[in-house]
């Protein structure tokens, strides 16, 4: 009984549901591998839903409906797994689509609790200050706020105040 339904699902499928299901699967697969705004994915899901409805409209049974939904879910999960694996270790991981670096420098010290030792020290701005930016003091990087408001990158500054964990700097 089950295998008869499974075979008739594909052998008795009309052209409209077959085209909608095929286009829907292709669009969903494209969405998994190509970053975008979800146009391919949403359109693909709508085509899949339309294909399922069309199959039921053209004489599908409830058993065929569940078989079709199960097959679609298995195919999409399998392709999603391949996409995730490829992003981690496969071909996609060697493309510019996958970010491998962080935005912060290696020496960025975000959790230094003894910042009082920095008052009076001089450093250099490594980003533009409007009025907040990043300053390098010695070989470490810190977030800071400029008292002079706007500072260009590469400006020599001096730490003049500490409030909590926030450094305040001015031109030196």
By the 8 A CB rule, do 25 and 72 touch? yes
By the 8 A CB rule, do 65 and 58 touch? no
Q: Give pLDDT tens digits for 9-20.
A: 778 888 999 999
CA 158 vs CA 12, 120, 135, 142: distances in Å: 79, 6, 10, 13
To the question of pTM greater than 0.85 for the whole model, the response is no
Question: Rg of the chain over CA atoms, in angstroms?
Answer: 29
Structure tokens, 167: 């450094």
Q: Residue 163: which H helix or E strand, with range?
A: strand 156-163
Q: Residue 48: which H helix or E strand, with range?
A: helix 39-57
Q: Give pLDDT tens digits for 78-135.
A: 888 888 887 777 776 676 666 666 666 665 555 556 788 889 999 999 998 888 999 9
Residue extents of the structural domains in the chain:
2-94, 115-171
CATH of domain 115-171: 2.40.50.140
């Amino acid at each position: 009984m089950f295998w008869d339904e499974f075979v008739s699902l594909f052998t008795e499928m009309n052209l409209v549901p077959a085209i909608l299901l095929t286009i829907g699967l292709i669009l969903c697969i494209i969405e998994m591998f190509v970053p975008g705004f979800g146009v391919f994915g949403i359109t693909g899901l709508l085509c899949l839903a339309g294909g399922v409805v069309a199959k039921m409209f053209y004489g599908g049974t409830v058993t065929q409906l569940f078989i079709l939904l199960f097959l679609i879910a298995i195919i999409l999960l399998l392709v999603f797994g391949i996409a995730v694996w490829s992003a981690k270790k496969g071909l996609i991981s060697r493309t510019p689509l996958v970010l491998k670096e962080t935005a912060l420098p290696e020496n960025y010290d975000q959790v230094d609790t003894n910042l009082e030792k920095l008052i009076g020290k001089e450093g250099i701005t490594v980003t533009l200050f409007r009025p907040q930016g990043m300053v390098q003091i010695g070989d470490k990087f810190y977030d800071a706020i400029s008292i002079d408001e706007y500072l260009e990158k590469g400006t020599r500054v001096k730490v003049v105040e500490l409030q909590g964990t926030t450094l305040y700097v001015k031109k030196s």
